[in-house]
Amino acid sequence: MQNLKDLELLLNSSVPIIIVETQEEARLIELFNRLIKNLPRSLFLWTVTEGLKRLDVDMPAQRHNSKPIELLTQIKTTKHEGIYLLVDFHPFLDDPVHVRLLKDIALMQDEAFHHIVLISHEIELPEELERYSARFELSMPDSSQIEMMVRSEAKRWASINPGARIVVDKKFLNQMVESLVGLPVDDARRLIKGAIEDDGALSQSDLSTIMQAKFKLLDQGGVLSFEYDTAKFADVGGLEGLKQWLQFRREIFSGEIQNPGLDTPKGIMLLGVQGCGKSLAAKSVAGTWGVPLLRLDFGSLYSKFYGESEKNLRESLEMAELMSPCVLWMDEIEKGISVGENDGGTSSRMLGTILTWMAENKEKVFIVATANKIEALPPELVRKGRLDEIFFVDLPDSEIRGIIFEIHLAKRELEPADFNIETLAENSAGFSGSEIEQAIVSSLYSALAQKIELNESHLLEELSRTRPLSIVMAEKIESLRAWAQNRTVSAN
């Protein structure tokens, strides 16, 4: 209903040119067909292939004016007021004759007031026409409309499969509806139909497929990526403090618990030693909460063209809103917002864009920002209130190292009970999780070269040969740990 009201207001205004950027051509034309019944004007549709056709009266198309110059000339000389839907007219806006004719039509309001509606996926209007134009945005279906589509498609499937009943997981149904918000009607209906026809059920197993398809439909070649490989916290050794913090907030974020006094969680920052599980923790938040994970690569945001980097960032944040509920992983965030003196102010503008979005965003987008260089982070970002908490991911202690050994041995189909985990943990003091994993990988290669099964001696030998980052970069890591001691919450 809101689309009809907004469109009617535009048609009753004094704006002669209306711009509509949409992929839902058929839906928009249907809106005009419904609206014209209450307006004393004629409705026309023009395409370069069919020419001009009147929609409010059953008349054949006029193929003699299929060329833009013929069409615009006819509209200019017509005294009977009309609404003209020009589909895919954007390539013809480069011709100065077409632009002048459009301007002539816009200026003849006293003689005959026509509405020219330009419809395409993308329209760049010449500057001389801007003052005579207004843009109309076709709103996406809301959750109630999507739920009606689900029920409609379920009935349709049942009608062609007599005797069969669709199995519906009520909890998943709500998640599915929420996930499809932001998609055009046709795309949402196609995903719903695919989920139902796949196995005659709507269940949790369909959610990941739907979210991946949604991302592909919305993605316009931007710098935001959809991470398919999300983990569970069972795959992460340690980080018990972080796990508990997230567990308390999962039901609030998902909407399972409604509490007016509790704000929806905004996000966290993970600082810490390289290789200690910050990236895996980011993946685990999405995997445990059962929502998509989007990764924002700050390195690919930057462009040599002025203002393009900020545009890339804004588009990425808008995409995250459309994909909500989701986790937005801002990896190595300091690379994009550390204020520099020789970047023309780009870093400052990027920081301002992120801070403004954090303050204004109302969608369920949970940020997990990871960083390695604390000194590069601006104080505006790390202060309390921007994010919910700042966690420090430290080197694992002996007990956690043992758990990490068990996880990575089992991951490679090795039986942890065949190894003395306590001895391995003692001999890997100062190792990060990634360094322990790499020691196992290297040991497997050594055993393969010797054509024998991997044993404990291979691992101990590899550990003795390795100089972990905590030794190679001891001064920097100690400085990092000292900084974090009274400023952050321990993730372990």
Predicted pLDDT of residue 304: 44
Cα 488 → chain centroid: 29
Strand partners, 270: 370, 391
Residue 429 is encoded by which pair of tokens?
A: 């003091």
Give mean pLDDT, residues 50-69: 81
- At residue 318, does pLDDT exceed 50? yes
Predicted pLDDT of residue 153: 83
- At residue 101, does pLDDT exceed 90? yes
Percent of the chain whose pLDDT exceeds 90:
20
pLDDT-based confidence at 9, cuts 50/70/90?
Answer: confident
- DSSP sequence for 305-357: STTHHHHHHHHHHHHHHHT-SEEEEEETTHHHHS--SSSTTHHHHHHHHHHHH
Give mean pLDDT, residues 165-191: 77
Which of 102-106, 238-242, 305-309, 343-347 has the highest mean predicted lDDT (pLDDT)?
A: 102-106
- At residue 201, does pLDDT exceed 80? no
Predicted pLDDT of residue 305: 47
Give the residue with greater pLDDT, 306 vs 417: 417
Q: What is the pLDDT of residues 149-174, one digit of tens each?
A: 888 888 888 788 777 777 776 767 77
Residue 140, number of CB atoms within 10 A of its CB: 17
Separation of alpha carbons 287 and 296, rounded Å: 17
Give mean pLDDT, residues 57-70: 79
Separation of alpha carbons 322 and 226, rounded Å: 13
Domain coordinates of the chain in residue numbers? Answer: 2-135, 143-218, 233-393, 398-472
Give mean pLDDT, residues 273-302: 81
Percent of the chain whose pLDDT exceeds 70:
92
Residue with tokens 């509209």: 75
pLDDT-based confidence at 129, cuts 50/70/90?
Answer: very high
Torsion of CA 289, 293, 298, 303, to 10 degrees: -150
* CATH fold of the domain at 2-135: Rossmann fold (3.40.50)
Predicted pLDDT of residue 315: 82
- At residue 339, does pLDDT exceed 60? no
Q: Which CATH number fits domain 398-472: 1.10.8.60, 3.30.565.10, 3.20.20.70, 1.20.140.10?
A: 1.10.8.60
To which CATH superfamily is domain 233-393 assigned? P-loop containing nucleotide triphosphate hydrolases (3.40.50.300)
2-135 and 233-393, same CATH topology? yes
